[in-house]
Structure 1
Amino acid sequence: MVKYRRARVAGACYFLTLALQNRGSDLLSRHAAQVRQCLRVVQVQLPFRLPALVVLPDHLHLLMVLPPDEADYSARVRKFKIAFVAMLRQQGAHEVLTNAKGEANVWQRRFWEHLIRDEQDYCNHVDYIHINPLKHGLVARVQDWPYSSFHHYVRRGLLPIDWAGGAGVEIEHAGE
């Protein structure tokens, strides 16, 4: 088995991207409420904060802040993926098949992780998360995508409702 080198800093903030095996699926946006519910369940088991999140049809981006004495974001990702698959099975909302290793046909095995280095890096990733539905052509304005922490930022007065206007913003990221 390949041992991936991942940054592990206790109490740090990480940008994470989790993707479905079927990148043409809309499973996550159809079940956005269940995505949030599964994240809350994991937060109770293994605490973390979610300063920013966007649920897209076939992947999601989030910022995860770990408690000061913990660095294991992988365990949280694993528990979330398991919880989401269990919810799909329980609700019969999606045919969940397993391979010879017992892995469900829902998530890609790996996920993208980036250790947030400083305040500018943090702000850049919050912006990236919020602009993502526009970047993927899902909406004409950021405010029109319902499955985003963008709306929380607007309610708190951190961003204007017309942030990023209606025109696309060129933001490149190695995670996609």
Structure 2
Amino acid sequence: MSDYRRARVPGATYFFTVNLLDRSSDLLIREIDLLRATVRATKARHSFHIDAWVVLPEHMHCLWTLPEGDADFALRWKVIKFAFARRLPKSEALTATQRSRRERGIWQRRYWEHLIHDDLDYHRHFDYIHFNPIKHGHVERLADWPYSSFHRAVRQGIYPVGWCGGDADESGFGER
């Protein structure tokens, strides 16, 4: 069995990509209230700060900052994925391996994480997260995608409402 090495730095900020097993599914936006409730409950038990998050139909990207002295993002993802799947009706086809491991066929087993190294790395990932609904063709204007922390970033003055889709003087991927 492979030993996956993960960068574990207490109190650090990480970028994540988490996918559904069925990449043609719309489960994450169809069950957005359940996903939000699951994340809130996980944060209440295992604190972390959400810097940015976007949920697309079949995958999501986020930036988290962990508490000082804590590097256990794996526990948080395990709790989120398990709690979300547990509350869904069992309708997916399972492989023999999934059945033997008592897994659901909801999530890809692994996820991708990246330790944020500096301010430029942070800003690039922050922008990437928020640009994703346009990248995947879900909307032409980010303000039209409801499943994103883009709206919070606009309220905080980080982005203008027309960033990456809208008035020409307010758009421009990567510009601030």
- Note the residue ranges of structure 2 that are not aligned, 5 or more in a row: none
Q: Which residue of 2 aligns with 1:81?
A: 81
What are the within-5 Å matches in structure 2 for residues 165-176 of structure 1?
Answer: 165=165
Q: Which residue of 2 aligns with 1:117?
A: 117
TM-score by length of 1: 0.89
Q: Quick check: 1:3 aligned with 2:3?
A: yes
Which 10-residue stretch deviates more, 26-35 or 51-60?
Answer: 26-35
8 A Cα contact 1:55 1:148, kept in partner = yes
8 A Cα contact 1:97 1:105, kept in partner = yes
SS at match of 1:15: strand
- Once residues 160 and 172 of structure 2 are traced to their aligned partners in structure 1, the CA distance between those partners, rounded to angstroms, is 16
Q: Which residue of 2 aligns with 1:174?
A: none
> How many pairs does the alignment contain?
167
Q: Which one-letter code corresponds to 1:100 in the other structure? A: S
Equivalent residue for 2:91, pick from 91, 95, 100: 95
SS at match of 1:22: coil
What are the within-5 Å matches in structure 2 for residues 148-159 of structure 1?
Answer: 148-159=148-159
What are the within-5 Å matches in structure 2 for residues 1-176 of structure 1?
Answer: 1-88=1-88, 92=89, 95-96=91-92, 98=94, 99-165=99-165
Q: Which one-letter code corresponds to 2:76 in the other structure? A: R
Q: Which one-letter code corresponds to 1:158 in the other structure? A: I
Cα offset, 1:100, TM superposition: 2.3
Q: Which one-letter code corresponds to 1:130 in the other structure? A: H
- Once residues 172 and 29 of structure 2 are traced to their aligned partners in structure 1, the CA distance between those partners, rounded to angstroms, is 22
8 A Cα contact 2:48 2:65, kept in partner = yes
- Once residues 38 and 121 of structure 2 are traced to their aligned partners in structure 1, the CA distance between those partners, rounded to angstroms, is 27
Task: Give CA-to-partner distance per residue, 1:89-140, whole Å, 9 cap, x none.
Answer: xxx3x62555222110000000000000011111111100000010000111
